[in-house]
Amino acid sequence: MSKVGIFGGTFDPLHMGHINSMISAAGEYGLDIVRVVPAFQSPFRQPTAGPTPEQRYEMVERGLENYKDILKVDRQEVDRGGVSYTIGTIDHVRAEHKDDELYLIVGMDQFEGFDRWKSFEKILNRSHLIVTSRPGADLPESLQEFPLGLVDLVEDFDGKQALLNTGKSILFFQLEDVDLSATEIRKRFRDKESVHEMVPKAVADYVRENGLYQAVSAKIGDFEKFTEYCIQYLLSKKSIQVRAFDLRDMDFPSEFTIVTSGTSTKQTSAMAQNLIREIKTKYGTYPQHTEGLREGRWVVLDYGATIIHIFYDYVRMEYRLEELWTSGKTMDIRHLEPAAKT
């Protein structure tokens, strides 16, 4: 009987944080192999501008070339297409490893929302779960810190291992943390900063050869015009309290920021989705990163030099974020107001 690890992810791009987690977990728990499964489309992420699933797969393949004896890159989710659910992936691996023990490996940030994963109970019937630390997300010290939906499955928790009534375990593993995220690395590529020792060299070469993580700027071109276009759209959709800041003279990562609000989380989320769709039609690009779209409390759409914050108005008042940008120039947007009907 072998021990088979499964490590899924978007890998946009693969980085040393991922590799550290896979290799360390394999060593700690004596895994014979780890199947590394790039997602076609994660259920928890919006499509963003950037590499295709095939390109992300390719990066993983090249980046793991030196670890081939233990890390096996698995095409199944890319080949299946559609939204990639882990339960389907586990069943697929199970079919090939009928008598083996499966160990799904996730970072602590993923574990925090694990009870929102499709068929999470079935997953925990079929596979053990290894949860690794990740900077910014501490491992749980008591059962109260588990995702609520998991609590009833736990028979015993000794601080390192939870025994489940499914016959499987959740194993918590403190890594020697590598403080990296794909978000930060994409930004470094965009800003042409060094990614030395953050990603395998083969990944860095692939990104440069294929001009990845540059697409948004190339498609948008003039960001001032783009910002005005977004403002105009938001105003025409009765978005409230639209404000915009020109930050070009400031030491900010973006050049323009738009802040606006919706009157409910639902409206905020819908407004952001519509804006994304509108921009995709006009400019042919998705944002390079989004946050909060599902919850609709504070949605961030990152188009590189222009960042759009769409708040549920109540949350906006709570954060008073505008004070951050008032050191920049407030853009005069009166001429962008839709013409009053006479």
Residues that bind ligand ATP in the complex, under the rule CB under 6 A: 9-11, 17-18, 21, 106-107, 109-110, 132, 134, 178, 180-183
Length of the chain: 342
User: Which amino acid appears at position 137 of this protein?
Assistant: A
Closest to ligand ATP by CB, 106 vs 310, is 106
- Looking at residue 140, what DSSP letter applies? P
Q: How many CA atoms lie within 13 A of 151 on its CB side?
A: 9
Q: How far is the CB of 253 from ligand ATP (least distance, A)?
A: 16
Closest to ligand ATP by CB, 109 vs 121, is 109
Q: How far is the CB of 7 from ligand ATP (least distance, A)?
A: 7
Q: How far is the CB of 168 from ligand ATP (least distance, A)?
A: 18
User: What is the torsion angle, in degrees rounded to the nearest 10, for the CA atoms of residue 18, residue 21, residue 26 and residue 32?
Assistant: -10
CA end-to-end distance (rounded Å), the chain:
79
Joined tokens for residue 310: 């769409």
Query: What are the angstrom distances between the C-alpha of 59 and each of 77, 202, 209, 307?
Result: 15, 8, 12, 28
- Number of residue whose CB is nearest ligand ATP: 107
Q: How far is the CB of 140 from ligand ATP (least distance, A)?
A: 15
Closest to ligand ATP by CB, 120 vs 229, is 120
In 3D, which of 185, 187, 208, 186 has the Cα closest to residue 197? 185
Q: How far is the CB of 216 from ligand ATP (least distance, A)?
A: 15
Closest to ligand ATP by CB, 187 vs 282, is 187
Closest to ligand ATP by CB, 134 vs 316, is 134
